[in-house]
Amino acid sequence: MSQFLSSMEDQRKPEKNKTSTTSNLLWFFGVSTCVKLLLIPSYHSTDFEVHRNWLAITHSLPLDQWYIDKTSPWTLDYPPFFAYFEYIISFFAHLVDPKIVDLEKGLDYKAESVVLFQRLSVIVCDFVLLYGVYRLSKNFSMGFKERVLMWVLVVWSPGLVIVDHMHFQYNGFLLGLLMMSISYLMEGRDLMGGFIFAVLLCFKHLFAVAAPVYFVYLLRHYCWKGFVKGFWRISVLGAVVVAVFAAAYGPFVYLGQVIPGSYDSSSCKNLVNTRYCFYSCFHTLV
């Protein structure tokens, strides 16, 4: 009987440790969130107006006008998934204050409503960072002190707080996606890890610097399984990546805004003539 009770206690320990780890991480995240809330009225750079204008562009204009609108000097120049992301949250912005997403009247709009909404949008999106940290930290074989150090370096990162919650960006959200991708690779779920990284590339082109590392790792760890099995796996992986990029760029290919042959300099109806094409298409596709 005593041996049975002892075995039951051993079975409960991992669950108890998991619960303890989650609660501790939530405490770190809660403290970080409180600091971010205090920073709502703080300084912000021109990127604040950049993202407000992107909300207005995606909410007010049809898809074929997103990357060619020049109402504001802060034109949309991130890959399509980020544009879709702005489009989704623009509906909530409209509910808070319709002027936020007004293409003309919203220029340089700095009312309390827009400041509060945009600051809170970054804070809410940081839950993706929380999940990414959770997934990654649970897969590492480390002690409690090492895990806490990781949480401090990521969740309490001064640089991330300054760039996202003062300067104004969404890097925590994107970093969370990267950490989720790495966590799946650590679990041996390479296809899911590659899928999330492909999605991340279609959010922000700067993550393309990690693409060669992913390519070599997935080729060696996932695809290098003999000729027949390897060919099948590389085909599946390629199909997943192509499907992600098709979902991102497909609508713009259909509109003739990506293929160079359809370029019309007089009407400026092609993405080749925008900063978006150089930064996004070149860096993510080449």
Q: What is the pLDDT of residue 259?
A: 61
* Residue 256, pLDDT above cutoff 80: yes
Spell out the SS3 assignment of the chain: CHHHHHHHHHHHHHHHHHHHHHHHHHHHHHHHHHHHHHCCCCCCCCHHHHHHHHHHHHHHCCHHHCCCCCCCCCCCCCCHHHHHHHHHHHHHHHHHCHHHHCCCCCCCCCCHHHHHHHHHHHHHHHHHHHHHHHHHHHHCCCCHHHHHHHHHHHHCCHHHHHHHHHHHCCHHHHHHHHHHHHHHHHCCCHHHHHHHHHHHHCCCHHHHHHHHHHHHHHHHHHHCCCHHHHHHHHHHHHHHHHHHHHHHHHHHHHCCCCCHHHCCCCCCCCHHHCHHHHHHHHHHHC
Minimal CA–CA distance to 119: which of 205, 180, 47, 28?
A: 47
Confidence of residue 109 (pLDDT cuts 50, 70, 90): very high
Q: Which residue has the tokens 């890097």?
A: 171
d(CA 257, CA 271) in angstroms, rounded, equals 5
Q: What is the pLDDT of residue 11?
A: 39
Contacts of 79 (CB under 8 A, 6+ apart): 201, 202, 203, 204, 205, 248, 276, 280, 284
Region class of 58: left (phi > 0), else alpha (psi between -120 and 50), else beta: alpha
Taking only the tens place, the pLDDT of each residue in 129-165 is 999 999 998 877 777 788 888 899 999 999 999 999 9
Q: What is the pLDDT of residue 260?
A: 53
Taking only the tens place, the pLDDT of each residue in 175-227 is 999 999 999 999 999 999 999 999 999 999 899 999 999 999 999 989 988 88
Q: What is the pLDDT of residue 96?
A: 96
Confidence of residue 19 (pLDDT cuts 50, 70, 90): low
* Residue 276, pLDDT above cutoff 60: no
Stretch 225-233: mean pLDDT = 86
Q: What is the pLDDT of residue 7?
A: 39
Taking only the tens place, the pLDDT of each residue in 40-49 is 999 999 999 9
d(CA 85, CA 55) in angstroms, rounded, equals 9
Which tokens belong to 252?
């713009």
